[in-house]
Structure 1
Amino acid sequence: MVSSWRDFWDRDNPIYVNDRHKARHYAGLAREIVALVPHPGAVVLDHGSGEALSADRIAGACRRLYLCDASPRQRLALAQRFAACPAITVLAPDDLAALPAASLDLVVANSLAQYLTGPELDACLRDWRRLLKPGACLILADVIPPHLGAVADATALLAFARRDGFLWAALLGLARTCLSDYRALRRRLGLARYDEAGMLARLREAGFAAERMPRNLGHNQGRMGFVARA
């Protein structure tokens, strides 16, 4: 039985409706992260990276890319996928403590906050604040506001699928998700939600100068993205 979101992400799951959906998601996210890399010598952390299928594109735009994920299964797959890319290092969350202070130029945490408890998010904020160079950026994206429900998420997915050519698969995938344990897990464990003012206050309390981004990363513009400077 799946007892936590970490368990859920450490196994096959129905989040991506097919391989095209997964590939287009990661390709688009990589393109957006590349645009955020401040310079070619930058050291970047993607925290909660997931499968990161297009991480080699990000690594090509910076000097060092750390891919950090809580799932041992994902970390093994990442290490195998990018074994020939010396600019990429795969880390577990506990490994962050060994990184030097003020050593990162950019931290991206996309679609992570909703799977953390409040204390877990605060601990991450402290870690990221310690690791970022003065003036460097944290991008905290795909944050779910209180009013956004599953219907809005489904509508955003269908619009993405229509644009990128997997609409029929998305319709079937949504039906499959409704029959999977994801729906029950989402109801039982919940997803952390934050309003804009609350998240800005949390970031400022952690020592960041923060503001909401004009656009969220990824396809779901009902969710929020924040840029926070150390």
Structure 2
Amino acid sequence: MVASWREFWDRDTPIYVNARHKARHYAGLAEEMAALVPHSGAVVLDHGCGEALSADRVAASCGRLLLCDASPRQRAALSQRFAAQPRIVVLAPEAVAALPAASLDLVVANSLAQYLTAAELEACLADWRRALKPGGRLILADVIPPQLGAVADAAALLAFARREGFLMAAGLGLARTLLSDYRTLRQRLGLARYDEAAMLARLRAAGFQAERMPRNLGHNQGRMAFVARVSAPEVDLDRR
């Protein structure tokens, strides 16, 4: 029996219904992330990156892309996939905590918060806040609100599948998921959920200026995304 979300993500999972679903998911995220990069020399961290199949698209828009995932299996695959990409570096979560202060321009954590305990999220927020430059941004996306259930998630997937041409596979995949240990694990361990006010309060308590974004990253617009900024130091005009 799978004991934790980390163990679940360290193996093949039923989350993606077929290869097209996985490819379109990662391609869409990469386009959205590339659009968030502030400048061509930016240092970007994708924390909880998963397979990051289209990370080369993000790397092409920035100076350096750090890919972090908790799964050793995923990190090994990422290192092999992007071995010829000098702009891409693969990190374990422990290495994020050791990054130099004020070394990052952008952090994206998509579909990560729901798998973390409150203490784990607090620790990540502290690490990201320390590593971001003044004026840097954290994008915390795919946050699940309390009222959003599995039926709404399934409807969002089916709408995405219809647009992207894998509707039949999505229907079959949802049926497989109902019989998989993902459903059992979701019931047993649960997913962390936050309403808008609670997440904003957490981000502000961690030292960020934060607001909800108009759209979530990815296909599920029932979930939320937040942008959290590190304040640039104020200039004392009297001391210039």
- Scaled to the shorter chain, the TM-score interval is over 0.9
1:41 matched to 2:41: yes
Over residues 7-30 of structure 1, what are the superposed CA-to-partner deviations in whole Å (9 max), with x where a residue is unaligned?
000001100000000000000000
CA distance in structure 1 between the partners assigned to 2:96 and 2:147 by the alignment: 33
CA distance in structure 2 between the partners assigned to 1:57 and 1:213 by the alignment: 23
Residue in structure 2 matched with residue 160 of structure 1 by the alignment: 160
Residue in structure 1 matched with residue 136 of structure 2 by the alignment: 136
Cα shift at 1:98: 2.4
Aligned-residue RMSD, C-alpha: 0.4
Residue in structure 2 matched with residue 75 of structure 1 by the alignment: 75
Cα shift at 1:116: 0.1
Moved over 4 A (4+): none
Look up the SS of the partner of 1:46 in the other structure: strand
Task: In structure 1, list runs of 5 or more residues that go unmatched.
Answer: none
CA distance in structure 1 between the partners assigned to 2:110 and 2:96 by the alignment: 17
Look up the SS of the partner of 2:39 in the other structure: coil
Cα shift at 1:56: 0.3
Over residues 64-93 of structure 1, what are the superposed CA-to-partner deviations in whole Å (9 max), with x where a residue is unaligned?
000000000000000000000000000000
Look up the SS of the partner of 1:130 in the other structure: helix
CA distance in structure 2 between the partners assigned to 1:97 and 1:16 by the alignment: 30
Look up the SS of the partner of 1:99 in the other structure: coil
Task: In structure 2, list runs of 5 or more residues that go unmatched.
Answer: 231-240
Residue in structure 1 matched with residue 25 of structure 2 by the alignment: 25
Look up the SS of the partner of 1:184 in the other structure: helix
Letter in 1 for 2:21: H
How many percent of aligned residue pairs carry the same amino acid? 82
Letter in 1 for 2:203: L
Letter in 1 for 2:168: W
Residue in structure 2 matched with residue 6 of structure 1 by the alignment: 6
Letter in 2 for 1:126: A
CA distance in structure 1 between the partners assigned to 2:13 and 2:65 by the alignment: 26
Letter in 1 for 2:199: M
1:113 matched to 2:93: no
CA distance in structure 1 between the partners assigned to 2:41 and 2:21 by the alignment: 31
Cα shift at 1:99: 1.3
TM-score, scaled relative to structure 2: 0.95
CA distance in structure 2 between the partners assigned to 1:96 and 1:194 by the alignment: 24
Letter in 1 for 2:99: L
